Amino acid sequence: MIYIHIPFCKQKCSYCNFHFSTSLNFKDEMLSAMKKEIFLRKDELQNKNLNSLYFGGGTPSILSSDEIKSLIDEVLKYFTFDSDIEITLEANPDDLDKNFLKGISDSPINRLSIGTQSFFEEDLILMNRAHSASEAESSIKRAQDFGLENISIDLIYGSPTSSMEIWKENLNKTIALEVPHISSYALTVEPKTALEKWIENGKVNSPKEAEQNREFFYMKDFLKDHGFDHYEISNFGKPNFHSKHNSAYWKSCKYLGIGPSAHSYNGNEIRSWNVANNQQYIKKLSFNTLPKETEILSQKDQFNEMIMIGLRTRWGVDLSALKEKFNDEILEHFQNESRLKLEERILIMEDNHLKIPDKHWFMADGIASDLFIV
């Protein structure tokens, strides 16, 4: 599995703290550097047959379809594509005009992840999104007209400009558009974002956790009634439309991350990440130097990750894998910390997997952290 991070955006969303630049001055140098990194790191994945290639960001759709195809061609120099590979492109609605979609439909890309966020203008203005409410809807229809049916959209709930009625309308619109996959997140106030400053200055109300909780559980039941599998806290898919890329993360599979700030994982104890600075990234690769740092995960770190990731999914934590991987001291900690939660039914055991019941999923991160080794 390969992830390619495109570190460019037209403008900065008010809630976003991901790495990107709104300047395209060094776009060509960046693309050359990314191709260099693919070449230099091609042997880090021993399995050369890929089942997932994911373009994330940033905003990958800020590139031309030809530039995206050139990156795919670079990957194909060193890897082969599985017959049912999932190739995902994250895209903003305002980028999905007919010319762009025609170019994408003629490429190997077979899945779009569209950053819709909301079908309501007031929400989009608060988020400082580049697209309008009408573009949120029309972009999905245009993509479908070009034969791109494997579409995921992002939706944000719990915004201070929203309400339960607006949230219901967002979900109804999604169903009407026959979108087969939804990634949905509560609006969170990240450090050093415009949203944080607006709330501190009293310009915007802070999101209310109780309202977010209500909207989450309404969404969970509503989408289940419309045939969606709730397979991870924030992800819902119709049968055969689960994200291969995201599922691989949650199952701790190996992946290679290309581009500034991209992370990689060897499937066991080695994690690395690239420098989150475009100029440094380009400069280091111009000297054939990898712009990355590497970390050896301790047993404690591996345990905490396994708990956090597993409890976010409907599959839960595989207890057989846990016992095989960790020593008696860690297993004793796990048994002691999970015992009370099992008695209280905050955690449950099914088919030798530890899971969080649906009704407690909104608190999953807190439940998982209670089991961590600190």
Tell me, what's the pLDDT at 225?
A: 97
| CB contact burial 213-226 (16+ within 10 A = b; e otherwise) | ebbbeebbebbeee
Tell me, what's the pLDDT at 184?
A: 96
Alpha-carbon distance of 34 to 70, in angstroms, equals 11
Indicate the average pLDDT of the chain.
94
Under 8 Å between Cβ of 90 and 151: no
Write down the residue that tokens 């439909």 correspond to: 105
236 has pLDDT over 90: yes
Give me the mean pLDDT over the 210-217 stretch.
94
**Which amino acid would we find at residue 261?**
S
pLDDT tens digits for range 144-190: 999 999 999 999 999 999 999 999 999 999 999 999 999 999 998 88
| CB contact burial 32-53 (16+ within 10 A = b; e otherwise) | ebbbbbbeebeeebeeeebbbb
Q: Identify the CA nearest to 166 among candidates 218, 210, 131, 205.
A: 218
Alpha-carbon distance of 161 to 203, in angstroms, equals 12
Residues of the chain with pLDDT > 90, as a percent, come to 83
Residue 41 DSSP one-character state: T
**Residue 126: exposure state from Cβ atoms within 10 A (0-12, 13-18, ≥19):** buried
316 sits in the region (left: phi over 0; alpha: psi -120 to 50; else beta) called left
197 has pLDDT over 80: yes
Return the H-helix or E-strand segment holding 52.
Answer: strand 49-57
Under 8 Å between Cβ of 235 and 183: yes
DSSP 3-state of 97: coil
**Which amino acid would we find at residue 94?**
D
Tell me, what's the pLDDT at 26?
A: 92
Is the pTM of the predicted complex or chain greater than 0.75? yes
Return the H-helix or E-strand segment holding 88.
Answer: strand 80-91
Fold of 2-250: pyruvate-formate lyase- activating enzyme (3.80.30)
Give me the mean pLDDT over the 238-257 stretch.
91
Alpha-carbon distance of 154 to 133, in angstroms, equals 14
**In this structure, what token pair is assigned to residue 112?**
């779009």
Instruction: Sheet containing 348-350: give its strands across.
Output: 317-318, 353-355, 348-350
- Boundaries of every domain in the chain: 2-250, 299-370
Cβ-Cβ contacts under 8 Å for 344 (sequence gap 6 or more): none
Alpha-carbon distance of 180 to 114, in angstroms, equals 12
Tell me, what's the pLDDT at 18?
A: 76
Q: How far apart are the first and last CA of the chain?
A: 31
Tell me, what's the pLDDT at 156?
A: 96
